[in-house]
Amino acid sequence: MHIKIAINVPTAMSFFSILFVIGFEKNALAVTIDSLSGAPNNGNLISISGSGYGSNSAVRTGDIQWLGDNIELGNVAAEFSPPPNWSYHRAETTFDAPHYDNLQAHSGNKSIRITYDLNKYGGYFNYNHESAFGKVFYSAWMRIAGPSSWTCNGTSGGCQYKNGGRITSGVIDLGRPQFYTSTWTEQGNFVVFMQTSSDTEPGVVSDYPHNTGSAECYQWMCPGPTGERRYLLNGPHDTVGPNTNSDMWVRIDWYAEESSPLVKNGTFKMVLQKPGEIINTVLDFDKNLQTTDGSDYYKSIFFGTYASGFSKLDTWWDDIFIQTGGQQRVEIGDTSEWSTNTHREIQIPVSWSDNSISFIFNQGSFQNGSRAYLFVVNEAGSVNSGYPITIGGQLSDIAPPTSPRNFNVH
């Protein structure tokens, strides 16, 4: 289900740190939820009290994007109507425009659909921040039609889909910093690229030691024809693609912190949630990536972008959440321990202090009457043991929450 809410986004930070945090846990006892006020029904205002929440500047400044309201209010078959700071590539000979669609939905009744074919190999919509992110967390549900609905007319490598989102310096352009993903149908591989505009950054595996993978300069792209360096971020890859985990709704979370210029202290984390499986951190680079040489910084996120060789490939997006400034957030999960969750839905914060948080309840695809658990992730990545709730439950006897700020509720 979607919460009908729009968020006004002012200018935020001027320095980019990308960090992804969804699937890992640090010192869960540092964060507690002691009480809750409000009925956990979709769209209700909820307040929790406890400790260890820290601060969240994005809530104070309104630097949060939630597309649930926009999607549910869109007219079926109409082109995407972008809220402030959003845009999209309009339909033309080689591009399909994103449309509102009711054939598939993760929650509520609608989603955003982009269809690619042999002639229309481009299509995307994107969020444009007014300044560099510094740190950014985003979460999106996506679905790709499976092999029964398309044929591949590509080269020996198969058909390619650049999926899962793309964090860039404002444009899709070789030679500009970006993170993006790519899947080839025949090769069956999924890769995540990190690209910098530096010619001085060495590109060998040993430069990026960490616990789940490595990064190497990718084939002929080191440097490429325009001077950029493109790196493969290797790990236990598992994501959604045309022939991998297709025909299902999958949630992809990215957290990133920009590095200092020419310094390997940036972060990139990616988490995958798919039905019936424990949520999995598929990439975990922690303060050991160089993301920029100082000439450009990250400030945009693209959804979709490119697919080649498909007779027809339908893709859908739903429940997109973007927060500038850190990984702090409130979630509901299906088990009492964060590390065993197989289903999570992000909540929409409206006030935040070290010992209390108010948020608008997002039921997502949880059913009424089901048991769920509340979690708070603070800036350091610490998370509490789950606080039990029943979706569709009754009001508690605790004082009501404060009114939200920086939101327009429809």
Query: Is 90 exceeded by the pLDDT of residue 20?
Result: no
Task: State pLDDT tens for residues 367-377.
Answer: 999 999 999 99
* Residue 9, pLDDT score: 36
Task: State pLDDT tens for residues 349-393.
Answer: 999 999 999 999 999 999 999 999 999 999 999 999 999 999 987
Asked if the 65-198+238-327 domain carries CATH number 2.40.50.180, the reply is no
Rounded CA separation 139/156 (Å): 33
Three-state DSSP at 242 gives coil
Task: State pLDDT tens for residues 224-261.
Answer: 444 444 555 544 444 555 666 678 999 989 898 988 88
The H or E element spanning position 286 is: strand 280-289
pTM: 0.81
b/e 157-186 (16+ beta carbons within 10 angstroms → b): ebbbbbbbbbbbbbebeebbbbbbbbbbbe
Spans of all domains in the chain: 29-56+329-396, 65-198+238-327
> Is the pLDDT higher at 284 or at 81?
81
Closest C-alpha to 23, from 229, 327, 308, 304? 327
Task: State pLDDT tens for residues 100-130.
Answer: 999 999 999 999 999 999 899 888 898 988 8
CATH code, residues 29-56+329-396: 2.60.40.10
Spatial contact of 350 and 59, defined as CB atoms under 8 Å apart: yes
Query: Is 90 exceeded by the pLDDT of residue 73?
Result: yes
